Amino acid sequence: MTAVQLGSLTWLPAADHPELLGEPVAAALPGLPGPAWVAAIDEEAADTAAFTDTYGVPLTASANCVVVAARRAGETTLAACLVLATTRADVNGLVRRHLGARKASFAPQDVAVAGSGMAYGGITPIGLPASWPVLVDAAVAAAELLVVGSGTRGSKLAVPGSVLAALPGAEVLEGLGQPVG
């Protein structure tokens, strides 16, 4: 694997460093359809704005994974939405319609953590339960390399957008990420 240079971090092959990953992420890595790198970070700098400021990784090279709870007829479906950090997920529009839900909203923190088995602020589409749809914005899928969570707040993953788009259960949607503003 070619070494990755993003910001001031030292990126290592993720498969060689399971101790830096959340358990579900480490378990999913062997099935990943491409490369992934991991870098240890300060847990206090895990949130996107603090991360980009602290480590000099451009906001345009980061993606956020948000967990959505979609409800219809008393049933709740959890799904993950992966959008560029410069955008926000269109939860009440595209996500709600795509999942056939009457109502969609961000999942409560405790539900997202319990359902994913990952730390809040470190949830990533890699290693999510197979029953969860993974909705990937087309701009994420087209990106050469993006920083995403690692299942913990103490590290980040760098993964090609094409690998994220090829995850089990992933569907690429045009317009999932909407401009912030």
Tell me the H-state helices in 18-131: 23-28, 48-55, 96-98, 109-116
- CA proximity to 147, closest of 24, 50, 16: 50
Is the pLDDT at 44 greater than 70, yes or no? yes
Is the pLDDT at 117 greater than 80, yes or no? yes
DSSP single-letter state for residue 95: I
Is the pLDDT at 137 greater than 70, yes or no? yes
**What's the mean per-residue pLDDT of the chain?**
95
Q: pLDDT for 7-32, tens place per residue?
A: 999 999 999 999 999 999 999 999 99
Q: pLDDT for 49-67, tens place per residue?
A: 999 999 999 999 999 999 9
Q: Comparing 140 with 48, which gets the higher pLDDT?
A: 140
pLDDT at residue 2, rounded to an integer: 66
Residue 17 neighbours by CB distance under 10 Å: 17
pLDDT at residue 4, rounded to an integer: 82
Whole-prediction pTM: 0.94
Tell me the average pLDDT across 159-175.
96
- Give the C-alpha distances (Å, rounded to integers) separating 136 from 3, 18, 56, 74, 95: 25, 25, 25, 26, 11
pLDDT at residue 16, rounded to an integer: 95
Domains in the chain, start-ordered, CATH in brackets?
Answer: 12-165 (3.90.960.10)
